[in-house]
Structure formats: structure tokens, C-alpha cells
């Protein structure tokens, strides 16, 4: 515990230094402002996908997401930013608790603070992104009370906001949890229907006129900002939907096989983490902050390292080396108001490989003692 407390204190000091040197790195939350603007457009009956909703920044989520964001428009922006950040950190603690239920409250809180030093989490908080909310929805759903009649609702809601969590529906189907899969699909459809009721023209544009499939709406698919399999193929000069779909099918199938194996071995945290990382890797476009699923991976490795498994300590060290938010470029014309951080700023495919190699290696290790396995359920 003293080691955790000392590390958390260092992270807080580092965050304070960044805030003092580059205030916009903490307080701009530009994506949150886009969400708020999307909510304002729905309330005012204005189109969501005709140009930008905030300056030249487009709204890229389904209309249901804009309906969900509408209450954000009712809060003063300063208060909204403060509440959104506080909720994000609280949800991080919730995710840690779900992934390591035997950890005490002080440890959970300290680990949540440490998680803010990971680049995907740091970027999510600085931008005011929704990734931590979606992570908590899925983790709370699939790692919650076994046999819950509500299982699938969290997955369906997360997918209704950002389509990539639909991979969890496939995972539920393959593991024969038919009711949970049906609940997830029904929730997703119901949310889409609500979007149609609130914004029918925008829903037609999004679902039937190709808006949802336009991966390059914000940035070049082959550019260094796309950290998915599709982005890697584009940078290799392998363009077009067919190579990406073929590669995604193979990677998705391998992921499901590994996740099912983990599920049958009682390692549900690992199974869910594999699918979560795949949801970013298989997306047509994945920003670095989509990989917040490194938090459950780090917690899982940390729990095993504490139990005395040296390979897990090595794996955790590798995850931290790849994802630690070390400042690599200062804010400027090429970076914007937020400093670039982490290995991902040098190597666009770092998180893609991170989503495959450590998880496969982790699964290859023989089953852990009962004490550790219980922490994973």
C-alpha cells in the first residue's frame, strides 16, 4: 500500500505540473464540447451531420448519442467539465473494483489515480471523451452479478453510442448466453429507435446514407492517428475494404476463440478484456483513447504479480512501458493544446500489437491458484 500511495502521489504531482504549464491540457475538453453541441442541435432540431456542430468539428456518433448528450447542454460548461472529469475518475475506480473485487477501497482509489497516467486514460480525460463511460458500462454489465436478468443492457447501450462494443454480442453468442445477447441486441435496437424518434432525418442519414461507415470523416484512415488494424494496413499501402475485412475476420475469430477459452477456464476478466481490446483493434478507425481497455489488462496483470507470478510482473512492466503518458512533444502547431505522450506518438501500431501479444501470452500460462482466479471472476 505505501508503494501505491507514493506512486499515486507522483502521478498527482505530474498532473498538477502539466496543468500549470499547459492549462488547456486539462481544461479544454474539446470532445465534451462537441458532445454538448450535438445535444444542443437535437434540442434545437438542427441537423447533426451537415458540417460541424462546433466550429468545424463534426458529430460522429449515432443520433441516439446526441439524445443522450442533450442534458449536457443544460449545464454551464465549466461545471460540466468538472463533473465529467470527476465522474470519469470515479468510473475508473468502479472498473478497478469490478476487475479486482478483493482489493480494498483504498487500493482501488489509488489504482484509479495511477490509471490516469496511462496514455489512453489521460487522453480520454483531457479530451472529455466518453470511452471510460463505455468501458464502465460493459465491465459493469459482464463482470457484475452472475445470472442477472439485466445482463446485456450495458453492452447494448455502449454499442448504441459507439458501435464497436457490438463485438461483445458475438462473444455472448459464442459462449451461449442467449438471453444476455438478445437483451444487448434489443437494447441497441431500442436506443436506435429512440434516436429515430428524436432525430428522424439524422437517423436516415446516419444509418441508411452511409454516414456510419465513413471512417475518414475526421482524419485520414491511413494516417498516424488511426491505431486500428485498418490504419496499419493503410500505412502499409494495403487499401480498400476487402483486406481490412479479411484481416478483421481472422483477428476477430482468434480473439473469440481465446476469449471463450478464458471464459471456460473461469477467467472472465481476461475474456472481457480480450474482447474490449479487439473492439478497438477491429474498428475502421481507432484513436489512441479507444484503448482504455488497457486498464483491466493492467489490473489483471497486477493482481497476478502481487500473487507472486513473475511473468505477470514482466507483462505489467511491458504494458506500462507502452502506455505510460510520458510527454514526447510539447504543445504547438503540430500537437495542439495537449502535449503528445507515450510510445504511440512514435509508433502508431503500438496499441494494436499490445492488444494481441500480451493477452495471448497471458492466456498461454497455466491456470492460476484459486485465490487469484477468484479475483478474476
Which one-letter DSSP state was computed for residue 341?
A: E
364: confidence class by pLDDT, cuts 50, 70, 90: low
Per-residue pLDDT, 335: 81
CA distances from 111 to 22, 106, 114, 152 (A): 25, 9, 5, 27
Angle in degrees, 0-180, between the axes of helices 167-174 and 153-161, rounded to the nearest 10: 150
15: confidence class by pLDDT, cuts 50, 70, 90: very high
Angle subtended at Cα 202 by Cα 76 and Cα 128, rounded to the nearest 5 degrees:
35
Statement: residue 168 has pLDDT above 90:
yes
pLDDT tens profile 178-211 = 999 999 999 999 999 999 999 999 999 999 887 7
* C-alpha grid cell, residue 150: 439485466
Angle in degrees, 0-180, between the axes of helices 294-306 and 77-99, rounded to the nearest 10: 40
311: confidence class by pLDDT, cuts 50, 70, 90: confident
Q: Which residues of 341-360 are buried (b: 16+ CB within 10 A; e: fewer)?
A: bbbbbeebbbbbebbbebbe
Average pLDDT rounded to a whole number, residues 219-244: 91
Average pLDDT rounded to a whole number, residues 67-81: 96
315: how many CB neighbours lie within 10 A of its CB? 24
Statement: residue 160 has pLDDT above 70:
yes
* Phi, then psi, of 324 in degrees rounded to 5: -60, 135
Per-residue pLDDT, 26: 85
Average pLDDT rounded to a whole number, residues 305-314: 89
**In whole angstroms, what is the distance from residue 282 CA to residue 129 CA?**
20
- DSSP line for 281-300: HTSSS--GGGGTTHHHHHHH
Average pLDDT, the chain: 90
Per-residue pLDDT, 104: 87
Average pLDDT rounded to a whole number, residues 27-45: 95
**In whole angstroms, what is the distance from residue 290 CA to residue 171 CA?**
19
Average pLDDT rounded to a whole number, residues 258-279: 92
Q: What is the pTM of this model?
A: 0.92
Collapsing DSSP to helix, strand or coil, 91 comes out as helix
Statement: residue 274 has pLDDT above 80:
yes
Per-residue pLDDT, 336: 83
CA distances from 121 to 131, 169, 297 (A): 8, 25, 13
By C-alpha distance, which of 114, 3, 130 is closest to 62?
A: 130
pLDDT tens profile 331-360 = 888 788 889 999 999 999 999 999 887 666
Domain ranges of the chain: 2-376
Per-residue pLDDT, 350: 95
Angle in degrees, 0-180, between the axes of helices 268-281 and 294-306, rounded to the nearest 10: 150
CA distances from 234 to 119, 135, 215, 253, 288 (A): 23, 27, 12, 21, 17
Statement: residue 366 has pLDDT above 60:
no
Task: Name the helix (H) or strand (E) containing 123.
Answer: helix 119-127
**In whole angstroms, what is the distance from residue 54 CA to residue 48 CA?**
10
229: how many CB neighbours lie within 10 A of its CB? 26
Task: Name the helix (H) or strand (E) containing 235.
Answer: helix 229-235
Per-residue pLDDT, 213: 67
Statement: residue 374 has pLDDT above 50:
no
**In whole angstroms, what is the distance from residue 69 CA to residue 191 CA?**
13
Per-residue pLDDT, 103: 85
Q: Which residues contact 66 (CB under 8 A, 6 or more apart)?
A: 38, 39, 41, 42, 48, 59, 195, 198, 199, 202
Highest mean pLDDT among 16-25, 174-183, 356-365: 174-183
Per-residue pLDDT, 376: 47
Statement: residue 256 has pLDDT above 80:
yes
Collapsing DSSP to helix, strand or coil, 306 comes out as helix
Task: Name the helix (H) or strand (E) containing 160.
Answer: helix 153-161
pLDDT tens profile 109-159 = 999 999 999 999 999 999 999 999 999 999 999 998 888 899 999 999 999
373: confidence class by pLDDT, cuts 50, 70, 90: very low
Per-residue pLDDT, 370: 36
By C-alpha distance, which of 179, 134, 100, 105 is closest to 275?
A: 134
2: confidence class by pLDDT, cuts 50, 70, 90: confident
Average pLDDT rounded to a whole number, residues 68-91: 96
Angle in degrees, 0-180, between the axes of helices 167-174 and 268-281, rounded to the nearest 10: 140
Residue 269 in contact with residue 376, Cβ under 8 Å? yes
Amino acid at each position: 500500500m505505501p508503494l501505491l500511495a507514493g506512486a499515486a502521489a507522483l502521478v498527482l504531482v505530474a498532473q498538477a505540473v502539466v496543468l500549470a504549464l499547459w492549462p488547456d491540457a486539462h481544461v479544454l475538453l474539446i470532445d465534451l464540447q462537441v458532445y454538448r453541441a450535438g445535444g444542443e442541435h437535437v434540442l434545437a432540431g438542427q441537423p447533426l451531420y451537415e458540417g460541424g456542430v462546433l466550429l468545424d468539428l463534426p458529430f460522429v456518433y449515432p443520433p441516439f448519442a446526441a439524445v443522450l448528450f442533450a442534458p449536457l447542454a443544460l449545464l454551464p460548461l465549466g461545471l460540466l467539465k468538472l463533473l465529467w472529469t470527476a465522474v470519469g475518475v470515479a468510473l475508473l475506480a468502479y472498473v478497478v473494483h469490478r476487475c479486482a473485487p478483493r482489493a480494498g477501497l483504498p487500493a482501488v482509489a489509488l489504482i484509479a489515480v495511477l490509471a490516469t497516467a496511462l496514455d489512453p486514460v489521460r487522453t480520454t480525460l483531457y479530451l472529455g471523451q466518453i470511452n471510460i463511460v463505455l468501458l464502465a458500462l460493459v465491465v459493469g454489465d459482464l463482470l457484475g452479478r452472475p445470472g442477472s436478468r439485466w445482463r446485456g443492457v450495458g453492452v447494448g447501450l455502449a454499442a448504441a453510442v459507439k458501435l464497436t462494443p457490438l463485438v461483445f454480442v458475438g462473444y455472448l453468442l459464442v459462449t451461449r448466453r442467449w438471453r444476455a445477447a438478445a437483451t444487448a441486441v434489443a437494447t441497441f435496437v431500442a436506443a436506435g429507435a429512440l434516436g429515430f424518434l428524436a432525430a428522424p432525418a439524422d437517423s436516415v442519414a446516419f444509418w441508411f446514407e452511409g454516414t456510419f461507415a465513413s471512417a475518414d470523416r475526421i482524419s485520414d484512415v491511413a494516417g498516424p492517428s488511426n491505431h486500428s488494424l485498418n490504419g496499419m494496413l493503410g500505412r502499409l499501402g494495403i487499401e480498400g475494404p476487402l483486406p481490412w475485412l479479411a484481416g478483421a475476420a481472422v483477428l476477430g475469430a482468434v480473439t473469440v476463440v481465446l476469449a471463450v477459452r478464458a471464459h471456460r477456464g473461469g477467467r472472465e476478466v481476461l475474456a472481457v478484456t480480450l474482447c474490449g481490446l479487439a473492439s478497438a483493434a477491429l474498428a475502421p478507425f481507432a484513436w489512441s483513447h479507444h484503448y482504455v481497455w488497457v486498464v483491466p489488462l493492467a489490473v489483471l496483470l497486477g493482481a497476478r504479480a502481487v500473487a507472486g507470478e513473475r511473468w505477470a510482473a514482466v507483462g505489467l512492466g511491458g504494458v506500462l512501458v507502452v502506455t505510460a503518458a510520458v510527454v514526447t512533444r510539447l504543445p504547438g502547431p503540430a500537437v495542439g493544446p495537449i502535449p503528445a505522450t507515450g510510445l504511440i506518438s512514435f509508433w502508431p501500431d503500438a496499441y494494436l500489437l499490445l492488444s494481441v501479444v500480451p493477452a495471448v501470452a497471458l492466456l498461454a500460462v497455466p491456470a492460476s491458484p484459486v485465490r487469484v482466479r477468484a479475483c478474476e471472476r
